[in-house]
Amino acid sequence: QLQLQASGPGLMKPSETLSLTCTVSGVSISSSSYYWGWIRQSPGKGLEWIGSVYYSGSTYYSPSLKSRVAVSVDTSKSQFSLKLSSVTAADTAVYYCASHSGLQYFDFWGQGTLVSVSS
């Protein structure tokens, strides 16, 4: 069974760079079947796709966040990562990592990690 586990700092200050890592187990992160994505959920904006990565390193970003986002993959560690620069209070959310087969729907999700941005 595919499992994902997100980890990262829970509290940040404005203007910092958010860094999160998702560890994949139960399937090879290099499987040609899966893409790996980040989604966040906040009370104000609901569920929002941030970006996705393929094991080859190909990346896909939300147009609204593209200027601040970088998603990468480390196949040797079975991990993929999210970096979001210049965070503000509006970036406060639960961040989920998820898989999506063939860049389609999000079929397996991690448990989510809360990131709060406050001075």
| Spatial CB neighbours of 45, under 8 Å, sequence gap ≥ 6 | 90, 93
Of the two residues 14 and 66, which places its CB atom closer to another protein in the complex?
A: 66
Cα-based distances in Å from 81 to 44, 60, 97: 24, 13, 9
Q: Is 27 exposed, middle or buried (0-12, 13-18, 19+ CB in 10 A)?
A: middle
Out of 11, 47, 89, 90, the only residue in the binding site for another protein (CB under 8 A) is 47
107 near another protein, judged by CB under 8 A: yes
CA torsion, points 79, 83, 89, 94, in degrees to nearest 10? -20
64 near another protein, judged by CB under 8 A: yes
- Please choose, out of 15-23, 24-32, 42-50, 85-93, the segment that lies near another protein by the rule CB under 8 A: 42-50
Of the two residues 33 and 105, which places its CB atom closer to another protein in the complex?
A: 105
Q: Which residues bind another protein (CB under 8 A)?
A: 46-49, 60, 62-64, 96, 98, 103-107, 109-112
